[in-house]
């Protein structure tokens, strides 16, 4: 599993326009094989900030996304609205589990490890 997470800052006056213009690319990307989650959304507290969250089943699925016209379309759509900051990382994960344990308590530790 690969997670892409971070922020993209654009001209605050154009953020909503950028997100609206990106809907076609977001919709098409969500339909790609291996795409588990793909969300670009506005930060309600920081003007111009867009949060990026993607979850991919494999490196191959992510590579396919990077080679797709919707990746370049999304990049160009957002860039046309004046990118002024970018902090996006990829994270490879081999262990995941629910935040809440069987008793309904939120846990920061990995409680299902053997």
What are the pLDDT digits (tens) for 36-46?
999 999 999 99
Residue-wise pLDDT for 59-96, tens only, equals: 999 999 999 999 999 999 999 999 999 999 999 988 88
Pairing between β-strand 2-10 and β-strand 35-42 as defined by DSSP bridges? unpaired
**Which CATH number do you get for residue 16?**
3.30.70.100
Domain membership of residue 61 (yes or no) is yes
Domain containing 57: what range? 2-92
Residue-wise pLDDT for 24-38, tens only, equals: 999 999 999 999 999
Domain membership of residue 111 (yes or no) is no
Domain membership of residue 103 (yes or no) is no
Domain membership of residue 57 (yes or no) is yes
Q: How far apart are CA 56 and CA 2, in angstroms?
A: 5
Start-to-end CA distance of the chain, whole Å, equals 20
User: Can you point out the beta strands (E) in the chain?
Assistant: 2-10, 35-42, 49-56, 83-92
Domain membership of residue 109 (yes or no) is no
Domain membership of residue 98 (yes or no) is no
Domain membership of residue 97 (yes or no) is no
pLDDT average, residue stretch 12-31: 95
What is the tally of structural domains in the chain? 1
């Amino acid at each position: 599993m690969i997670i892409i997470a971070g922020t993209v800052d654009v001209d605050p006056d154009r953020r909503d326009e950028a997100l609206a213009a990106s809907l076609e690319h977001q919709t098409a990307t969500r339909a790609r094989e291996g795409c588990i989650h793909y969300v670009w959304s506005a930060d309600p507290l920081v003007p111009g900030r867009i949060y990026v969250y993607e979850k991919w089943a494999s490196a191959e699925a992510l590579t396919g996304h990077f080679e797709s016209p919707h990746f370049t379309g999304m990049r160009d759509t957002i860039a046309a609205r004046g990118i002024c900051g970018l902090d996006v990382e990829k994270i490879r994960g081999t262990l995941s589990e629910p935040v809440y344990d069987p008793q309904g308590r939120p846990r920061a530790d990995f409680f299902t490890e053997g």
